[in-house]
Amino acid sequence: MDLKTTKASPVLADPSAPISKSRLGMHSSLMPYSQTGTSFPSTILTIPRKKPAKLDDVGSNGWLEAMKSSSPPRKKILKDPFAGVSSDDGECAYHSWKLKFPSALFSFEKIVDYARDKKIVMFLDYDGTLSPIVDDPDRAFMSADMRCAVKNVAKHFPTAIISGRRRDMVSELVGLTELYYAGSHGLDIKFPDKEVNLFQPAREFLPMIDEVFRTLVKITSDITGALVENHKFCASVHYRNVDEKSWATVAQRVHDVLKDYPRLRLTHGRKVLEVRPVIDWNKGKAVEFLLESMNLGNSEEVLPIYIGDDRTDEDAFKVLRQGNRGYGILVSSVPKESNAFFSLKDTEEVKKFLKSLVRWKEKSML
């Protein structure tokens, strides 16, 4: 582990110690609906050696179901709670869903009213949040206008990009050196404008990920449309461009490879299978770590806002919700179960929200 910049260590000495309400920065008054859970998840890092439970075929362990429901088309009945319940009357379902997850644009006054005496810290996912979902992951570019919006946000609030992509790739796509970057689902963190200051809690997994990446490339090479990306601390197997009839083959082959790697696990993203180290670290832990590193982890005066569209963003939403510490905003145009508080429909609405925040801040400074 290489940790050079932070004053506060992310590793808590006693994760079971009680945490006071003031430390949590409780602010239930603005919650759109009732909150549960007040315990602060510790940022302590553990690397379990235990073999995770695995089932023998992808049909029986829900992989296929999860694959079918990821990134769902609007007009489809879906059972997965993370996938939504859209149907032919999808519009209607979407509107009633928004009663539970109100639009962050519609609730903007409420949000900034609450933020008035607080320091906002902005966390942004990349794919599906800053750049629209496209078929080719290499062509997921954010618009110049979005870049400008993020740049302006970062002038006023500490801003971090938290992505499943490898850090150097996402930082190149965003192209703003003044931001914090957490790549590989938070496993590779870099502070702004500093070349060497990194936090990489899964360094020991590098050779293993590299090896598994090569194997995944090999075993999917005959599946038309399959694409494997090496994200340094994790690997992604894309099936967005694979004929649905072959999804079971993709799943089974990835599953078979993972049998030989008990220290790796699989998570589901949007038409992507993500192979990650079995360590107690995720986007939520990265958010906690970054707040601590900024010396902003322990205050009622801080309001973290996290915007993301994916299941992996749920870990971050959960952290903000469990501690009632800040706001998760889910980007989705279909109803989905989520730990977020608010919603935005798409990247255009994300941009509007960011611009509104900048306008509000600049006005408040006059």
Ligand X SMILES: O=P(O)(O)OC[C@H]1O[C@H](O[C@H]2O[C@H](CO)[C@@H](O)[C@H](O)[C@H]2O)[C@H](O)[C@@H](O)[C@@H]1O
H or E element that contains 60: none
Which DSSP symbol is given to 254?
A: H
Radius of gyration for the alpha carbons in the chain, expressed in angstroms and rounded: 20
H or E element that contains 304: strand 302-308
> Distance (Å, rounded) from C-alpha 53 to C-alpha 311?
21
* CA-CA-CA-CA dihedral for 9, 279, 342, 320, to nearest 10: -30
| Residue 68 touches ligand X, criterion: CB under 6 A | no
Shortest reach from residue 252's CB to ligand X, in Å: 20
Token readout for 77 is: 């009945």
Q: Spell out where 184-313 has E strands.
A: 188-190, 198-199, 227-230, 235-238, 264-269, 272-277, 302-308
Shortest reach from residue 274's CB to ligand X, in Å: 5
Question: Site map for ligand X, 211-240, x if CB under 6 A?
Answer: ------------------x-x----x-x-x
Shortest reach from residue 325's CB to ligand X, in Å: 21
- How many other C-beta atoms can be found within 10 angstroms of the C-beta atom of residue 201? 26
| Residue 165 touches ligand X, criterion: CB under 6 A | yes
Phi then psi for 131, rounded to 5 degrees?
Answer: -125, 140
Nearer to ligand X, 187 or 302 (CB): 187
Member of 10, 269, 323, 335 binding ligand X (CB under 6 A): 269
Member of 10, 90, 158, 164 binding ligand X (CB under 6 A): 164
Member of 133, 148, 217, 248 binding ligand X (CB under 6 A): 133
Out of 125, 127, 310, 315, the active site residue is: 125
125 noted as active-site residue: yes
Nearer to ligand X, 231 or 232 (CB): 231
| Residue 361 touches ligand X, criterion: CB under 6 A | no
| Residue 274 touches ligand X, criterion: CB under 6 A | yes
- Residue listed under structure tokens 């809690």: 201
Question: Site map for ligand X, 15-34, x if CB under 6 A?
Answer: --------------------
Nearer to ligand X, 86 or 236 (CB): 236
Beta carbons of 146 and 130 less than 8 angstroms apart: yes
**Stretch 298-337 residues interacting with ligand X (CB under 6 A):** 310, 312
Selected range binding ligand X among 50-58, 126-134, 173-181, 211-219, rule: CB under 6 A:
126-134
> Distance (Å, rounded) from C-alpha 353 to C-alpha 146?
11
Sequential DSSP letters for 83-152: T----TTHHHHHHHHHHHS-BTTTTHHHHHHHHTTSEEEEEE-SBTTTB---S-GGG-PPPHHHHHHHHH
Shortest reach from residue 289's CB to ligand X, in Å: 16
| Residue 126 touches ligand X, criterion: CB under 6 A | yes
Catalytic site positions: 125
Q: Which residues bind ligand X (CB under 6 A)?
A: 125-128, 133-135, 137, 140, 163-165, 229, 231, 236, 238, 240, 269-272, 274, 310, 312
